[in-house]
Structure 1
Amino acid sequence: MLRIHFTPEDLARTRISAAPQPMWEVLLSMYRLRGREGGIFFEEWRRSVAKAANLTTRPLADLASQSGYAVDFLTPTLRNLSLAEGLEALRRTPRKRLRADLAVLAGTRRLPSWTTGLAEGRPETLTRLADSVERYFTACLAPYWVRVCGRVEQVRARQVKTMTEEGCESLLAQVHPSARWTYPVLELDYPVEHELRLDGRGLCLAPSFFCWGLPTTFLDGELEPTLVYPIEHKVGWSANEAAHRPLTSLLGRTRARVLEVIGERPGTTTEVASRTKTSLPTASQQAATLRAAGLITSRQIGQSVLHSITPLGLALLAEG
């Protein structure tokens, strides 16, 4: 049982993460790779990334047993929500945090020899670990990240609406099928007995694409209070060709591709033209149409225009 203790200040400071947390999705997707939970929802994705995953997951797997504790420092919760920020936070993990988390992990199983350098905070070992995370994300998550973000955004928009119209307490009562809310305590099913006292810090609610079954949080209650919980899924979400055929029919091949590359990461008109292999006037025209439809936003930066996808655009990509 997980019990989260609120004060009135905590209710006022509770927020919903603005997007998926890349470091959490890395960790939780590894569990989906190594287990059979999620069945048909993740099977196609497992098959598509299995070979690449075998080459990139070893250091990560050493720090996250197939069930049970995974070191807290692997999943820094950040407001900027970018992989680059997460990797930088991992490289800068204080030695005290490394030693404390590895000591807990060592109490559950024998650790490989390379973790000695990690416990000592050696920069080269931390860099090796961060590089492994980046390779794994690039190979196994990046090809699907637009759809991951879009699906999480759909859930987030619904939950923001609940919080706005019905209040934070109503959302807490619905955040997971096992949730039981009786002020001032939120109870959720959990593998072990765990108490989390917010003490005025508020709670970051983080809907997660690769979380499955029970919610999860940090072992250390001193870290930023975060509740990561699963969202609903659709069969076939990872099927590339099938997912984008309706979108192409709706928008046209070029415009759909422009929306997709902007969804992958923001870019200037020149960058969008390069990534879509179109001319600069074509990229500009397609971006203008997408902006008029509310699917992207554009802002002037010096002599360039930077295009970013909107929540509506992400939701459209996620649905295909």
Structure 2
Amino acid sequence: MLRIEVTGEDLARLRVAPDTDPLWEIVLSLHLLQNRQAAVVFDPWRREVRAALARSGLTEVTAALTRLSPWAAYFPDFLTPGQGGGGLAEGIEAVLSTPRRRLSAELSEVYAHGPVPPGVRRLAEGDVAALERLGRALRAYHAVAVEPYLPAMRGAVADDRAVRADAALRGGAAGLLESYGPSVALDAGALVAAYPVARRLPLGGRPLTIVPGFFCVVAPVVLADDALDPVLVHPLGPAPGWLARTRAHGSAPPPVSQLIGPTRALVLDALEHPRTTGQLAELLRLTASTASRHATVLREAGLVTSERRGNTVLHRRTPLGDAVMNGGRVGEDVAGGGR
């Protein structure tokens, strides 16, 4: 069980990362390739990624990365320096800048009960060539195992942020934390979560950052070293079939783009689930004013409805919008059948 004591001041300092973190996703996805957790949700991804890694000649590179970060009770913190929302280049630079003493200590912990492989030993010694190889390996693995799935990851983050924002508006910081249940619970002045070992994480006046993790499954994850800035990575929990849905939509604009334009088609496609203007902007990498303008045009065409909720506007696709996106005959989709 993981236990994080939180005071009222700690709640005021709580931070939710705006996006997943590329280094955390690299490490957590490596763990998924080493186990069978969440098989229904992630086995299609496992099959696809293993085949893609083999085609790309990255099977041995991936094996080398798993030797650095095994699926075990301990894996080194230096591989996950980010706190969400950072870029890949920035994260890799932070990894490669890890002091030699820390590299040695953390990698020695990984192999506390067995011999250290030669490649890992050179990295632990701070060998420049070994560090450069690590940087290339992280970039190559990310390009195959993580980057192709960013649209699905961004959609999951946008949906998650909608839930967290609503919880925070309704119940403040305590309501926000309660919204992470059942994986995380607020109990008698502490955050508690299932964990492989008994663990207490003292905040010591430092802000806790909650980072959404697409490849995080079963339970939240924290850094092993209490002295590092505290991070809690929580599972986003994509639904079964997420990969098939991603492949069905693809990265190209839907066919209806020929009728209403590519960006507007992507907005209408994103409204398969209700979203605020801000969530649309974040998901599609648009400015808020651009997302609002497209939503207004779609609303005037009867494809979208919009409802103001406090300082936000929630957009929903109408039955007519569903029919347009799904390629059905409008009369049938809206009226529910023939004459």
Q: What TM-score do the two structures reach when normalised by structure 2?
A: 0.73
The match for 1:195 is: 200
The match for 2:30 is: 30
Among 75, 80, 83, the alignment partner of 1:70 is 75
Among 249, 258, 262, the alignment partner of 1:255 is 262
**Secondary structure of the corresponding residue to residue 167 of structure 1:** helix
Per-residue deviation, residues 53-99 of structure 1 (Å, max 9, x unmatched): 35231221011223321111111124551111111111111112212
Give the length in aligned residue pairs.
277
Superposed, 1:162-177 pairs within 5 Å as 162-177=167-182
Per-residue deviation, residues 171-213 of structure 1 (Å, max 9, x unmatched): 2233241433234321111000111000111211112111110
The match for 1:98 is: 103
Q: Does 1:130 pair with 2:135?
A: yes
Residues of 1 paired with 2:228 and 2:6: CA distance? 16
For the pair shown, which has the larger CA radius of gyration, 1 or 2?
A: 2
Residues of 2 paired with 1:162 and 1:146: CA distance? 25
Residue 16 (structure 1) shift: 0.7
Residues of 1 paired with 2:190 and 2:282: CA distance? 38
Per-residue deviation, residues 86-141 of structure 1 (Å, max 9, x unmatched): 11111111112212211211214432111222112122211211211110110111
Residues of 2 paired with 1:127 and 1:17: CA distance? 29
Question: Is the alpha carbon distance of 1:125 and 1:203 closer, same or farther for their aligned partners in structure 2, counting shifts above 3 Å?
Answer: same
Question: Is the alpha carbon distance of 1:114 and 1:290 closer, same or farther for their aligned partners in structure 2, counting shifts above 3 Å?
Answer: same
Q: Does 1:139 pair with 2:140?
A: no
Superposed, 1:1-320 pairs within 5 Å as 1-54=1-54, 55=58, 56-78=61-83, 80-239=85-244, 240-244=246-250, 248-252=254-258, 255=262, 292-293=293-294
**Secondary structure of the corresponding residue to residue 202 of structure 1:** coil
Residue 35 (structure 1) shift: 1.6
The match for 2:311 is: none
Opposite residue 87 of structure 1, the aligned amino acid is I
Residues of 1 paired with 2:258 and 2:122: CA distance? 53
**Identity score, percent:** 34
Residues of 2 paired with 1:178 and 1:109: CA distance? 33
Residue 241 (structure 1) shift: 3.8
Opposite residue 262 of structure 2, the aligned amino acid is R
Higher relative contact order (CA 8 A, sep 6+): 1
Residues of 2 paired with 1:250 and 1:79: CA distance? 34
The match for 1:300 is: none
User: Could you tell me whether the CA contact under 8 Å between 1:10 and 1:199 is conserved in 2?
Assistant: no
**Secondary structure of the corresponding residue to residue 293 of structure 1:** helix
Residues of 1 paired with 2:188 and 2:11: CA distance? 10
Per-residue deviation, residues 250-307 of structure 1 (Å, max 9, x unmatched): 54497169969x999979xxxxxxxxxxxxxxxxxxxx97673269xxxxxxxxxxxx
User: Could you tell me whether the CA contact under 8 Å between 1:78 and 1:85 is conserved in 2?
Assistant: no
User: Could you tell me whether the CA contact under 8 Å between 2:83 and 2:209 is conserved in 1?
Assistant: no
Per-residue deviation, residues 192-251 of structure 1 (Å, max 9, x unmatched): 011100011121111211111011110101111011111232222223441349961454
Deviates more, 1:100-109 or 1:35-44: 100-109
Gaps of 5+ in 2: 268-280, 297-313, 316-325, 327-339
User: Could you tell me whether the CA contact under 8 Å between 1:7 and 1:198 is conserved in 2?
Assistant: no
Gaps of 5+ in 1: 268-287, 296-311, 314-319
User: Could you tell me whether the CA contact under 8 Å between 1:64 and 1:71 is conserved in 2?
Assistant: yes
Residues of 1 paired with 2:120 and 2:265: CA distance? 43
Question: Is the alpha carbon distance of 1:205 and 1:289 closer, same or farther for their aligned partners in structure 2, counting shifts above 3 Å?
Answer: closer
Residues of 2 paired with 1:248 and 1:95: CA distance? 50
User: Could you tell me whether the CA contact under 8 Å between 1:15 and 1:204 is conserved in 2?
Assistant: yes
Residues of 2 paired with 1:245 and 1:2: CA distance? 39
Q: CA RMSD in A?
A: 3.1
User: Could you tell me whether the CA contact under 8 Å between 2:221 and 2:232 is conserved in 1?
Assistant: yes
